[in-house]
Structure 1
Amino acid sequence: MKLKWLFPFLVMISLVTGCLNDPVQDDLITYINDDIPTVFELELKAVGTYDSVTGPNYTDDIVLYEALVNEIIPTYNEFVRELEAISIDTDEVREIHEGYIKGANLQYNAFVRMVTALEQQDRQLIEEANSMLDEARKLMRDYQVNIKNLAEEHNVELTENLDSETL
């Protein structure tokens, strides 16, 4: 299963109009330019490894299991820890960030469930893990829409540097 929903835009943010003393605007600019790019690399690494052993790249359960245990889960766990450590000043940005954390935690738990499913050779657990991944993708899409809407509300221009289809 290819995970394309990640963060479809690493952005350079510029002010559309000069809004003086808009703490949400300032917080959002810092969040997108400084905070997210540093943790996003961990997410890209973990999901890239996952994609390399699933879907058309799937070879067998052992390869998937070893990738999950040795690379994907540890890297994604580090990503979630760093994501949760981001300090946000405004309620508006914090609320949206919490959606990202919720989606990331759900995806992490799906990876863990997949390990259990492979250990037990339990098809139902695999289906549960895949459902969790589907729900995590939905939460990430919601996060992306919310970031774009908040940016528009506070006159912040998001310039796309990565296309979500390439992730």
Structure 2
Amino acid sequence: MKKYLLASILFLVFILSGCGDDPVQEDLLNYVNKATPKLAKEEGKAVGAYSSVTGTNYTDDLTMYNVLLDEVIPEYNQFIDDLESVDVKTNELRKIHENYIEAANIQADAFLTLVTALENQDSALVNEANGKLNKARKMMRNYKQDIKNLAKEHDVELKKK
């Protein structure tokens, strides 16, 4: 009886110790600490190049066109390649990550649409590109909120850098 009881207790301890493991927490920690910092730098570089020729920094169409072709699009495409290669192990995080990839692809498509708009001097295409950029920005805000929500659900503290 003692052997049976001891074996039962050891078995219960083994099962309970497994309950403390949280694969989503581990996946999220790896994601925010190892994968995304490099990605954020890449994305920031491409978006920074875009910002350098838009809004109050706009000078002329040719400058914008050249920066889009020579800097923004190649850098952003590299960012997307790296984003797509991130190894996400859990379904919960994978769903959020896929939304980020979709947003990035919409933004990349907006950059290509802007190039075509500049080539053809087509204001309707500029409006279309701006609509895509707005949609991508909204999706990226949702992505950030989803990461925060997942972190909260799995006891991961996110710190702003």
State the TM-score, normalized to the length of structure 1. 0.84
Equivalent position SS for 2:157: strand
1:11-22 equivalence runs, <5 A:
20-22=20-22
The one of the two structures with greater contact order (alpha-carbon pairs below 8 A, sep at least 6) is: 1
**Which structure has the bigger radius of gyration?**
2
* Aligned position for 1:142: 142
Equivalent position SS for 2:49: helix
User: 1: distance between equivalents of 2:71 and 2:157?
Assistant: 35
Letter in 1 for 2:70: N
User: Can you list the C-alpha shifts for 1:40-65, whole angstroms capped at 9, x where unaligned?
Assistant: 11100000011111000000000000
* Aligned position for 2:55: 55
User: 2: distance between equivalents of 1:27 and 1:86?
Assistant: 11
% identity of equivalent residues: 53
State the TM-score, normalized to the length of structure 2. 0.87
Letter in 2 for 1:109: D
Matched, 1:74 2:74: yes
User: 2: distance between equivalents of 1:132 and 1:123?
Assistant: 14
What 5-or-longer segments of structure 1 have no aligned partner?
A: 1-18, 162-167
Structure 1 position 116, deviation (Å): 0.4
* Aligned position for 2:122: 122
1:14-33 equivalence runs, <5 A:
20-33=20-33
Structure 1 position 38, deviation (Å): 1.3
User: 2: distance between equivalents of 1:86 and 1:60?
Assistant: 37
Letter in 2 for 1:48: G
User: 2: distance between equivalents of 1:20 and 1:112?
Assistant: 47
Equivalent position SS for 1:156: coil
User: 2: distance between equivalents of 1:126 and 1:46?
Assistant: 19
Matched, 1:87 2:81: no
Matched, 1:102 2:140: no
Whichever structure has more helix as a proportion of its residues is 2
User: Can you list the C-alpha shifts for 1:122-154, whole angstroms capped at 9, x where unaligned?
Assistant: 000000000000000010011011000000000
Letter in 2 for 1:157: E
When structure 1 is superposed on structure 2, of 32-41 and 129-138 the one drifting more is: 32-41
Structure 1 position 20, deviation (Å): 2.9
Equivalent position SS for 2:159: strand
User: 2: distance between equivalents of 1:20 and 1:63?
Assistant: 56
User: 1: distance between equivalents of 2:34 and 2:131?
Assistant: 32
Calculate the aligned-residue CA RMSD, in Å. 0.9
Structure 1 position 79, deviation (Å): 0.2
What 5-or-longer segments of structure 2 have no aligned partner?
A: 1-18
Letter in 2 for 1:36: T
Letter in 1 for 2:149: N
Provide the aligned length of Structure 1 versus Structure 2. Answer: 143
